Amino acid sequence: MKLADEFLKSIDKRTSLIGIVGLGYVGLPLVREFCAAGFKVMGFDVDPKKVSMLKAGRTYIRHLPAKHFTKLIKQRLFTPTTDMKKLGKPDAVLICVPTPLDKMREPDVSYVVNTTVEIAKSLRKGQLIALESTTYPGTTREVMLPILEAGGLKVERDFFVAYSPEREDPGNPDFTTKDIPKVVGGLGPHSLKIATRLYDAVVCEAVPVSSCEAAEACKIVENVYRCVNIALVNELKMLFDRMGIDVWEVIKGANTKPFGFQAFYPGPGLGGHCIPIDPFYLSWKAREFGMPTRFIELAGEINTHMPEYVVQRVADALNTRGKPLKGSKILVLGLAYKRDVDDVRESPSVMLLEMLQERGGKVDYHDPYVPSGKPMREHNITHLRSVPLTPASLKKFDCVLISTDHTCVDYDMVCRHAKLVVDTRNAAGAKRRGKNVVKA
């Protein structure tokens, strides 16, 4: 097929122009990799602040330094824009927009729909449209395709459609976008071949599968797997606490088995844009097939209970020191949802902060990467400011609750100077454990 052959040649020659829609935690690293592989990239985002920050040489994601993108912009390899009318220019348009849950905890694919509507307005022959956002199996074919074909062009004959899930792990120094194989599904053989060739040019390996649905399911399975296993160790943590056994020691011991065991670690609850959300995309879709997803529901129940459990542990720990939670000064240490990132989306720390306040605690937080509260969909924390973490400031608190284990924090210092430490991440470690340290 001539259109497909031309596309393949343009990939090999690096003359195809790439469009990346959604310049966030997933989209920006992808810009970097496509430019590194020799492609020119147009970046699209509806947020004018992000686009102007990029143009002004500033970053909004801590682990993605601005200078790299400034250089790409200067070399005219990367053009960020808010102008969706230009979506007809790129040969391949890759979509990396949010896929959250709505207030009823059902999939909110409105960002995917809005983006597809914008793309459809200027869709032209020969374009490849690839969705990267995490979503339920069927989204590409059932939600996107009708919008794209509404103008009269036909997939596989006039344009191409693929799904390739993003597996980015922000802040992980061992695996960057380039080092992570990419599963690819297409809405037909031409779409699959083009998308596979394109991703093969950029990441270590493109892994073709038989359909977009299979590729969509791969990503959801990866996240369900994590969600269920984290719930398991969270439940075991609560049991072992009662039995006087340290779950961290147990996991460390079990992990010496060279096969058949993969370590997952407990925490104060799930956070981030993926694990607390994506499994429920599948639960929702499963209802259409009359099938409950009991593992997912149970894991959700256990994981969402964790902040409550942690608050109770804080209350108990204060109680044994003759202090009620009400009126106690508590420092939540770490606001980001995981170590060494500045992302607070769905962070359990925010839940903990609010729950402790509701019970009368006087709560502050410290996070080296989140100097002030960021706007969040369901929480109002923009008035909060990170307080300093010094021996003197620590002494002012009745309890320090470690909810995120950023590696740059001096936990020895924290344990030496805090009156009481409740540690949900094993950050204080077995060696440093003093009488004032409680694991939770």
Ligand X SMILES: NC(=O)c1ccc[n+]([C@@H]2O[C@H](COP(=O)([O-])OP(=O)(O)OC[C@H]3O[C@@H](n4cnc5c(N)ncnc54)[C@H](O)[C@@H]3O)[C@@H](O)[C@H]2O)c1
Nearer to ligand X, 54 or 311 (CB): 54
What is the three-class DSSP state of 12?
A: helix
Residue 274 among the catalytic residues: yes
Q: Does 139 bind ligand X (CB under 6 A)?
A: no
At closest approach, how far in Å is the CB of 47 from ligand X?
A: 4
Distance CA 354, CA 341 (A): 21
Please give the size of the binding site for ligand X, defined by CB under 6 A: 27
Sites for ligand X among residues 20-49 (CB under 6 A): 21-27, 44-47
Q: Does 166 bind ligand X (CB under 6 A)?
A: yes
Q: Does 115 bind ligand X (CB under 6 A)?
A: yes
Please identify, among the stretches 16-24, 254-262, 306-314, 415-423, the one whose residues bind ligand X according to the rule CB under 6 A: 16-24
At closest approach, how far in Å is the CB of 166 from ligand X?
A: 4
Distance CA 8, CA 229 (A): 41
Counting beta carbons within 10 angstroms of the beta carbon of residue 362, is it exposed (0 to 12), middle (13 to 18) or buried (19 or more)? middle
At closest approach, how far in Å is the CB of 148 from ligand X?
A: 15
**Residue of 134, 139, 196, 436 interacting with ligand X (CB under 6 A):** 134
Binding mask 239-278 for ligand X (x = CB under 6 A): ----------------------------------xx----
CA angle 360, 366, 367 (to 5 degrees): 135
At closest approach, how far in Å is the CB of 42 from ligand X?
A: 12
How many H-runs (helices) and E-runs (strands) does the chain carry? Answer: 14, 13
Q: Does 99 bind ligand X (CB under 6 A)?
A: yes
At closest approach, how far in Å is the CB of 182 from ligand X?
A: 11
Q: Which of 35, 96, 227, 274 is catalytic?
A: 274
Closest CA to 299 of 363, 228, 375, 250: 228
Closest CA to 276 of 243, 323, 228: 228
Report how far apart, in Å, the C-alpha atoms of 319 and of each of 230, 238, 323, 401, 402 are: 29, 19, 5, 15, 18
Nearer to ligand X, 45 or 342 (CB): 45
Q: Does 346 bind ligand X (CB under 6 A)?
A: no
Report how far apart, in Å, the C-alpha atoms of 37 and of each of 31, 41, 204, 345 are: 10, 11, 11, 31
At closest approach, how far in Å is the CB of 299 from ligand X?
A: 18
- The DSSP-derived string for 251-289 is HHHHTTSSSS-------SS--SSSTTTHHHHHHHHHHHT
Binding mask 68-97 for ligand X (x = CB under 6 A): ----------------------------xx
Indicate the residue whose CB is closest to ligand X: 24
Counting beta carbons within 10 angstroms of the beta carbon of residue 323, is it exposed (0 to 12), middle (13 to 18) or buried (19 or more)? middle
Binding mask 211-230 for ligand X (x = CB under 6 A): --------------------
**CB of 159 within 8 A of CB of 129?**
yes
Q: Does 390 bind ligand X (CB under 6 A)?
A: no
Please identify, among the stretches 109-117, 139-147, 288-296, 392-400, the one whose residues bind ligand X according to the rule CB under 6 A: 109-117
**CB of 100 within 8 A of CB of 377?**
yes
Distance CA 424, CA 269 (A): 9
331 conformational bin, left if phi > 0, alpha if psi -120 to 50, beta if neither: beta
User: Which residues of the shown chain bind ligand X in the complex (CB under 6 A)?
Assistant: 21-27, 44-47, 50, 96-99, 111, 114-115, 133-134, 166-168, 170, 273-274
Give catalytic residue positions: 274
